[in-house]
Amino acid sequence: MSLFFIVALPFLGALLPGLMNGAGRAACAGVTFTVSLAAFLGLMTNLPSVLAGEVVMARVDWMPVLGLNFTLMLDGLGFFFAMLILGIGLLIIAYARHYLARGDNMGEFFTYLLLFQGAMVGIVLSDNILLLLVFWELTSLSSFLLIGYWKHLPEGRQGARMALTVTGMGGLAMIGGMLILGQIVGSYDLSVILQNRELIQADPMYVPALILILLGCFTKSAQFPFHFWLPHAMAAPTPVSAYLHSATMVKAGIFLMARMWPVLSGTPEWFVIVTSAGLITMVLGALIAIFKHDLKALLAFSTVSHLGLITMLLGTGTAFGAMAAVFHILNHATFKAALFMSAGIVDHETHTRDIRRLGGLRTLMPITFGIVTIAALSMAGIPFLNGFLSKEMMLEETTHTTLFGIWWLVPALATFGSLLSAAYCFRLIGHTFLGPVRDNYPSKPHDPGFGLWGPPAFLVVLVVVIGVAPFLAEPFVKLVTASLLGGEAEVPKAYFKIWHGLVPALFMSVAAVVGGLLLMGVFKPLLRVWESTPRPEAKVIFEGLIEAAAALARRFIHTLHNGAFTRYAMIGSVAIIALGLHAWSTGTVGAPTRDPQSASVVAIAGWAMLVAATGGLVVMHRNRLLSLILIGIVGLMVSIGFVFLSAPDLAMTQFTVEVVTIILLLLALNFLPNRTPIESTVLRRVRDAGVAVAGGLATFALAYHYLLRDAVSTPISEFHLANSYKGGGGTNVVNVILVDFRGFDTYGEIIVLGIAALLIYALTETLLSGPVRARLLNRLPDQPRAGDMHPMMMVVLTRVIMPVVLMVGFYIFLRGHNEPGGGFIAGLIVSIAVVMQYMASGFAWTSSRLRYPYHGVIGAGVLIAGFTGIGSWFVGKPFLTSDFTYVRIPPFEKFELATAALFDLGVFLAVVGAVMLSLESFSRLAHRAQDKDSEHPMDIDPSRDDPPEDQPKPVTEGV
């Protein structure tokens, strides 16, 4: 089966358990099992090639420019790990089917489990280190979901968070390390990297890369000082602990160290860091494990200890050490997963995992007792069980390892670690199963059904088989070792056998087992000593660090982001001005290439009005109504300036936008105070004025220099001018650019405009449904109301004008392609025509006569524009390619039909909809409770006999 399928199957299969949830627990577990089994069998189809020593590859270029390719590789090492992941996965799924309680959502659990499985398989089969990183992060995420599966338990949530934080940070470090590695080699493909040992180790960036990658590995594999998260992750359901925290995820770090072994190992840095971290973890983990009363905590720390052992073996950098590591990975996966599952059985049957409340289960749960005994004795290193063999090899390796120049350091610590390890294994058996039967178990214990004990029993069979007949596992372990070594060293010749003769390792082993037994003999006094010695509590330290980091971030943010927007504006303006000044003073300015044009009297007069209006606006801005009039003058002058400077389209747009903006601001001013009070000090105003003048001078200088020099290279506009008629069929180049050359931009812009209008609508809805509504309804006008709010003259005038304006809009729209005009301007003109009706006859009267919701108009506009663009696909052209033709219908002259006109229609509709929706939203706010909706278009109508009852009385005060 293709490697892609093996990786993809769990991910695709992850969709199924959720779907099968309703079909019952057996179906749910069954489909998960089937998916895993399919992947497992797919892996097995590749076994012959792997046994033949081939490397199976599968490759799809993903982002070749970035060096990120979907490349998969299956060699001995990858096969070994993939087999562990999928094989133990099958057992775990079978076990979890019976373990999970009825109340647990099984579909959710198996979905997470398959996601995790896929990510793990992805890690071990990746040939591209960037791809590997992606899968690496996915395991962190999916394990977060699995650890926190019991969401109602605070320990579960905290443990999940802690695991994610620690492994996530390690993952970040590893990204850095991998990127450095890729930079050194010039390729992100693992197969290439593995060929470049000398290049990598000679590079000055080797040490940083090594440290960063090891940070990732150590956090994932719970090596000291990052070992603390693993015991807390034990809040997960037991199948998760057995799967993630004994057999697979915590082995990911080990896997990566093994994978990178050919290129990273063998240097003093590697040796010192990896060996000492492994050694410390091994001893420390074992020591803590002895004194844990929780079965799973004991197993968790023992896992930490064994991971340390494997790490240490990889750290030695010898081929024999690597082989011992591979063998121990296999053995540890078998006995530790069995132990975890057995711990789950004990928990499941007795409802406690506290060793102090157990004991004497030997006769009550004989099958579980048998499984645990074999697995634990294997872990303790008793002959004829597989743990003995790899531990023997480990001790053998340590006798050749000299750390810090002290020959006895490593062997002594390793023996001590083994001693502690034997001790907790004996305690596990003795304190749980041996001893007198108690009468106060939380629940009456008995052996579970086959579904629960079958999977661990299967593993225990493997434990015994490998232990008795190690030659069966030998070829496979050597094959894996060979692929781990990657040709950098010879596979050791040593045979796997139980009896090696009276070698030092044997004596060390005997010492460890005997010492472990003795230690158990004095367990009670030792426990008292242990409990009275103060120890640093990793969780407290971790939470303290997190809290400190959060406090630091809060302080930092509150200092920078204190809610004073004026300050941000000030800092931003000053910074931009300073940057401009810096560029100005360090850059060079060429000589002017354009002659200044003379200004006519009219231009000077317009300029003077603009300046006067701007100045007046600044000086009199406290009177808000006046400042609106003044800014209207500024806008008008800008529009006239556009006319003057050959931009008729701009002038029309600016002018119409000006009208709707002023109406909008007037509507807003209806609610806001009429005056801006004086609040700032004189000093502050002087300071602001200083900044403003500096900014003004800067833009003036920039614009002035700009205007007197030609562009450095020929502008693209020449192309537009040359092709507007030929290619776009229009003589108004601005419009052709909008609807044709840069139609995609315009399309984006009408969408933005539509979104802005919808946002305004949504805000209005929120305001009107909240507490503001009552205030708005009972608001008293702060100005005397006009007696004639909908005057007859205005009503009549706007009615008369309406068809004229619509016709003008239509005309402007149609001629837009060839003369100034187009969808934008026509849209604005039509909007103004409608707004006038609102102004003349009031909101209620007008909106009850409008049949089209403005949202729909926006949507129709965007859709029409979009479909016009899509239409070009049908003739095999890219999106928004326009076409045009000339037709002649007899009574009329020849005229042009262009798809661009259809696009412009979309623009037109979107603009009308957006403008009207914005203004309508504002008007809705103005509706008050005491306003009766009049059914008449005007207040005073001579043709009407009955004066309306709700006619407001003329207000006399203030006259």
Partner 1 sequence: MELLVASAIGIMTAGGLYLVLRLRTFPVILGMSLLTYAVNVFLFASGRLTIGAPPILRDGVEIYTDPLPQALVLTAIVISFGMTAVVVMISLGAFLGSDDDHVDDLLEEEVTSAEGTP
Binders of partner 1 among residues 736 to 795 (CB under 8 A) are 737-738, 742, 745-746, 749, 752-753, 756-757, 759-760, 763-764, 766-767, 770-772, 775-776
Does 921 interact with partner 1 (rule: CB under 8 A)? yes
Site for partner 1 in 550-569 (CB under 8 A): 562-567, 569
CB of 910 to partner 1, least distance (A): 10
And the tokens for 70? Answer: 């979907």
Does 848 interact with partner 1 (rule: CB under 8 A)? no
- 75 by Cβ neighbours in 10 Å (0-12 / 13-18 / 19+) ranks as buried
488-521: string of b/e by CB count within 10 Å (b at 16+)?
A: bbebbeeebeeeeeeeebbebbebbbebbeebbe
Identify which of residues 709 and 849 has a Cβ nearer to partner 1 in the complex: 709
Question: What dihedral do alpha carbons 204, 208, 213, 214 form, nearest 10°?
Answer: 110
And the tokens for 397? Answer: 């390796």
Identify which of residues 363 and 766 has a Cβ nearer to partner 1 in the complex: 766
Half-sphere exposure in the Cβ direction for 907 (13 Å, CA): 28
Q: Which helix (H) or strand (E) holds 74?
A: strand 68-74
Answer for the pair 340, 90: CB distance below 8 angstroms, yes or no: no
CB of 570 to partner 1, least distance (A): 6
And the tokens for 377? Answer: 């004795």
Does 820 interact with partner 1 (rule: CB under 8 A)? yes
Does 367 interact with partner 1 (rule: CB under 8 A)? no
Residue from 437, 546, 571, 692 that binds partner 1 (CB under 8 A)?
Answer: 692
Instruction: Show the site string, 244-283: x = touches partner 1 by CB under 8 A, - = not.
Output: ----------------------------------------
Residue type, 727: G
CB of 809 to partner 1, least distance (A): 15
**Which alpha helices (H) appear in 522-600, and where do they start and end?**
523-532, 538-560, 565-586
Identify which of residues 396 and 658 has a Cβ nearer to partner 1 in the complex: 658
Question: What dihedral do alpha carbons 462, 466, 472, 477 form, nearest 10°?
Answer: 100
Alpha-carbon span 509 to 268, nearest angstrom:
28
Site for partner 1 in 303-362 (CB under 8 A): none
Does 132 interact with partner 1 (rule: CB under 8 A)? no
CB of 678 to partner 1, least distance (A): 10
Alpha-carbon span 282 to 305, nearest angstrom:
4
**Rg of the chain on CA atoms, in Å:** 40
CB of 818 to partner 1, least distance (A): 8
CB of 929 to partner 1, least distance (A): 15
Of 293-301, 384-392, 417-425, 690-698, the segment contacting partner 1 by CB under 8 A is 690-698
Alpha-carbon span 138 to 117, nearest angstrom:
10
Answer for the pair 141, 168: CB distance below 8 angstroms, yes or no: no
Does 618 interact with partner 1 (rule: CB under 8 A)? yes
Residue from 54, 61, 710, 950 that binds partner 1 (CB under 8 A)?
Answer: 710
Identify which of residues 329 and 912 has a Cβ nearer to partner 1 in the complex: 912
Does 700 interact with partner 1 (rule: CB under 8 A)? yes
Residue from 2, 45, 363, 731 that binds partner 1 (CB under 8 A)?
Answer: 731
Nearest residue to 478 via CA among 86, 51, 45, 124: 51
Residue from 185, 234, 393, 631 that binds partner 1 (CB under 8 A)?
Answer: 631
CB of 802 to partner 1, least distance (A): 22
Alpha-carbon span 23 to 16, nearest angstrom:
11
In residues, how long is the chain?
959
Q: Give the 3-state secondary structure of residue 624.
A: helix
Does 681 interact with partner 1 (rule: CB under 8 A)? no
Q: Which helix (H) or strand (E) holds 739?
A: none
Does 669 interact with partner 1 (rule: CB under 8 A)? yes
Identify which of residues 248 and 735 has a Cβ nearer to partner 1 in the complex: 735
Residue from 82, 147, 175, 914 that binds partner 1 (CB under 8 A)?
Answer: 914
CB of 657 to partner 1, least distance (A): 5
Q: β-pairing, 895-898 with 884-887?
A: antiparallel
CB of 599 to partner 1, least distance (A): 5
Residue from 432, 653, 899, 923 that binds partner 1 (CB under 8 A)?
Answer: 653
Task: Compute how many residues bind partner 1; rule: CB under 8 A.
Answer: 119
Does 661 interact with partner 1 (rule: CB under 8 A)? yes
Does 649 interact with partner 1 (rule: CB under 8 A)? yes
Identify which of residues 7 and 911 has a Cβ nearer to partner 1 in the complex: 911
Does 927 interact with partner 1 (rule: CB under 8 A)? no
Identify which of residues 209 and 835 has a Cβ nearer to partner 1 in the complex: 835
Q: Give the 3-state secondary structure of residue 415.
A: helix
Residue from 704, 852, 873, 895 that binds partner 1 (CB under 8 A)?
Answer: 704
Does 571 interact with partner 1 (rule: CB under 8 A)? no
Does 833 interact with partner 1 (rule: CB under 8 A)? no
CB of 913 to partner 1, least distance (A): 12
Does 723 interact with partner 1 (rule: CB under 8 A)? no
Does 886 interact with partner 1 (rule: CB under 8 A)? no
Question: What dihedral do alpha carbons 232, 238, 242, 245 form, nearest 10°?
Answer: -20
Spell out the long-range contacts of 677-682 with Cβ–Cβ below 8 A and sequence spacing 24 or more: 677/622, 678/622
Residue from 25, 500, 621, 799 that binds partner 1 (CB under 8 A)?
Answer: 621
Answer for the pair 85, 267: CB distance below 8 angstroms, yes or no: no
Alpha-carbon span 224 to 275, nearest angstrom:
11
Does 532 interact with partner 1 (rule: CB under 8 A)? no
Does 108 interact with partner 1 (rule: CB under 8 A)? no
Residues 6+ positions from 85 with CB-CB distance below 8 Å: 117, 120, 121, 124, 247, 248
Residue from 614, 847, 934, 951 that binds partner 1 (CB under 8 A)?
Answer: 614
Does 679 interact with partner 1 (rule: CB under 8 A)? yes
Residues 6+ positions from 905 with CB-CB distance below 8 Å: 813, 823, 861, 864, 865
Q: Give the 3-state secondary structure of residue 795.
A: helix
Of 179-187, 304-312, 324-332, 701-709, the segment contacting partner 1 by CB under 8 A is 701-709
Termini Cα distance of the chain:
93
Question: What dihedral do alpha carbons 476, 481, 487, 493 form, nearest 10°?
Answer: -80
Does 601 interact with partner 1 (rule: CB under 8 A)? no
Of 99-107, 230-238, 386-394, 589-597, the segment contacting partner 1 by CB under 8 A is 589-597
Residue from 533, 559, 586, 597 that binds partner 1 (CB under 8 A)?
Answer: 597
